[in-house]
Structure 1
Amino acid sequence: MLECLAQNKFLVIGRAGMDLYADPPGTEIEDALKFSAALGGSAANIAVAISKQGGNTALLTAVSNDAVGRYTLKALTSYGVDTRFIKQVGGEARNSLAVVETRAVHCQSVIYRNGAADFEVTKADAAAINYSEFAALIVTGTALAREPSRSATLEAMTLADKAGLVLIIDIDYRPYSWSSKEDARDICRAAAELCDIIIGNDEEFAVLNGADDGRDLAQQMATKTSRIVVYKMGEKGAITFSGGTDFATPVFSVSALKPTGAGDGFMGGFISGLVAGDPLPQAVKRGAATAALVVTRVGCAPAMPDTAEVLSFISQRSA
């Protein structure tokens, strides 16, 4: 399975939007006199993370046909992300917007997702793609939260699987996007079962498990031949299940500016490690290093490190 990733071309499905950060760092939103803008959205962040570590990424999403949508497209292009599969939608649809603080403790993040443009991706949009161009499809769970994006994402997964792509999911459970936790459990779990690589944190696996704990489910999901499941536990690190074995990966200790963007960075670094041919433990370590660097910097997409920065960070911490 993993040898397919050497092609190093990825299609990512999910949201892209604008983040507004209270400026300067440390300022609370209610006290801010100014804000700085940056590209955000989990799928966009993942695409940028992989691109900055040498990968080729394309994004399947929709943005609003207005200045904020155009900002998002220009920002993606500046990071080298392929925007061919991003459509602009009018009417009442609006880009996802996050108003965020750069604070390590009690970090407030206000998300505006009413009538989100990225939910307007359709099955026809998914069917129009030539999946043979890509090595893998990366799905963020948020794209499954609403129609028509849900059906479009499932269609893309079906077509990608037929084309022999590696299917990867970041569970990315955001309660405000779903009608109920039960819907999230049923739909995300069914989608995850189709995938070769599943990444989520302890709370997200608990939602999929419909229980207070999700570790048993993560381990159970890894019993499928060749499947990799990464069970993240915040400051306690991660446990990776694969091939009937498991191993733990600690976090890197850093002085964090904020908590946001770590999960997206982890995905980008982890996938980049697999592309580079790293053994699985080393690839997970690369994901952890990328996440650690992201939380020390302002923003999410702008905070993603390049390959040299990640490898230098790992080398310094391993010395």
Structure 2
Amino acid sequence: MSRLYAIGEVLIDFIPLQKGCALKDVTAFERAPGGAPANVAAAVAKYGAPSSLLTKLGSDAFGDFLLEELQNAGVDTQHVLRTSEANTGLAFVSLKENGERDFSFYRNPSADLLLSETEIDGNLFEAGDILHFGSVDLVDSPMKQAHRKAIHAVKAAGGLVSFDPNVRLPLWSDAESCRRAILEFLPKAHLIKISDEELEFITGISDIETAISSLFRGDVQAVVYTRGSEGAELYTKNGRYTAPGFKVQAQDTTGAGDAFVGGFLFHLLKREAAPDRLTDILDNYHEEILHFANASGALTTTNKGAISALPDTAAIEALMKSQQLTS
């Protein structure tokens, strides 16, 4: 089977033991491995496809913890480098009663931002592999250049590029810098995943259909538009496909979007979705792919954390079957 390579941040989420209060009022936290690319890599590995992470961790105890957690999740960590020049990134989270969250990040810079383009092996990728990334590590840094090299290399090898902007404005000096970086990298991807909370901010267009249409430029072949518990819509150049969400008792929405992406990309890897086959695969198998991804995201919200909350395939299939029986 082809392999997922996720590039970008891996950090520790400090999850509050109390819900419904502001971050300044939280008195106790528990640590959980996180970072969107790492979450996606862990989901893909858990569902049964090979996955690797391209990043850098600090030579500190938090880095040791994350390396162990990634390995325990089945992620290949041979391309995870270590440095003493910066610490491993941290994120403190506060949870509302409905499981929605706010973040406070500690990385100025963090170790992941120091991964350089010279540390990306241009011969690493093969045809059919998928490179996935987000916008968090697209701030001006060595890591931004590492993204550019990795994207060029995977395309040269015949691989697929997936981009989830995953907007985190507190990490940017201003909102426009974040938006410009996302707009620069969007045309480089074959597949875009974007949420209902991000679409207008990124495109500057309030009408949903017009905004999504504007994303089809450069190499973009498909856009997945997620709407939280309401489900997701898939747009290709040939059609639009809708899949409803799953009703669950959400405890923590951290990592739900990443679990969705992991489930989606797992199915693409299983079908060896090279760029010249992506649209046909999505048009033919959209229902199965979207339902699996929706169930993956939904079940992740029923526990705290991201990687630690990922469901197994048996739980996903059971949830999908239960909806079929009640529909």
Question: Is TM-score (shorter-chain normalized) higher than 0.5?
Answer: yes
Cα distance in 2 for partners of 1:28, 1:206 equals 27
Corresponding residue for residue 99 of structure 1: 92
Name stretches of at least 5 consecutive residues in structure 2 with no aligned partner. Answer: 272-283
Select between 230-239 and 13-22 the one with higher mean Cα deviation: 230-239
Counterparts of 1:199-210 in structure 2, within 5 Å, are 199-210=193-204
- Between the aligned partners of 1:268 and 1:254, the Cα distance in structure 2 is 19
Instruction: Select the residue among 75, 79, 92 that pairs with 1:81.
Output: 75
- Partner of residue 297, structure 1: 303
> Corresponding residue for 1:163?
157
3-state DSSP of counterpart to 1:192: helix
Per-residue deviation, 1:296: 0.6
Distance 1:24-1:202 versus aligned 2 partners, 3 A rule: closer
Give the Cα separation in 1 of the matches to 2:219 and 2:92.
42
Matches within 5 A, 1:44-63: 44-63=38-57
Q: How does 1:215-294 map to 2 (within 5 A)?
A: 215-222=209-216, 227-277=221-271, 279-294=285-300
Partner of 1:65: 59
Q: Distance in 2 between matches of 1:225 and 1:42?
A: 23
- Identify which range, 135-144 or 276-285, moves more after superposition: 276-285
Partner of 1:318: 324
Q: Call closer, same or farther: CA 1:129–1:29 in 2, change over 3 Å.
A: farther
Q: Deviations over 1:220-244 (max 9, x none)?
A: 4347788111112234332210133
Distance change >3 Å, CA 133–CA 57, structure 1 → 2: farther
- CA shift at 1:177, angstroms? 2.2
1:153 is aligned to 2:159: no
* CA offsets 1:183-242 (integer angstroms, 9 cap, x no match): 333322231212111101133232331344554232243477881111122343322101
Secondary structure, counterpart of 1:161 in structure 2? helix
**Residue aligning to 1:306:** 312
Contact 2:3/2:269 (CA < 8 Å) preserved in 1? no
Aligned residues: 312
Q: Which amino acid aligns with 2:178?
A: A
Structure 2 counterpart of 1:4: none
Q: Which of 165, 170, 188 is 1:176 aligned to?
A: 170
Q: Is residue 95–residue 118 contact of structure 1 (8 Å, CA) maintained in 2?
A: yes
CA contact (8 A) 2:243 2:290 kept: yes
TM-score, length basis structure 1: 0.89
Report the TM-score, using the length of structure 2 for normalisation: 0.87
- 2:18 & 2:238 partners in 1: Cα distance? 48
Q: RMSD in angstroms over aligned alpha carbons?
A: 2.4
What is the alpha-carbon distance in structure 2 between the residues aligned to residue 225 and residue 18 of structure 1?
Answer: 33
Give 1:206's aligned amino acid. E
- Residue 118 (structure 1) aligned to one of 85, 106, 112: 112
Equivalent AA in structure 2 for residue 207 of structure 1: F
The change in CA–CA distance for 1:190 and 1:28 in structure 2 (over 3 A counts) is closer
Aligned to 1:10: 4
Contact 1:203 1:213 in 2 (8 A): no
2:181 alignment counterpart: 187
Amino acid paired to 1:290: S
Contact 1:185 1:210 in 2 (8 A): no
SS of structure 2 residue aligned to 1:131: coil
User: Percent identity at matched positions?
Assistant: 27
1:205–1:213 contact (8 Å) kept in structure 2: no
2:137 alignment partner, one of 138, 143, 152: 143
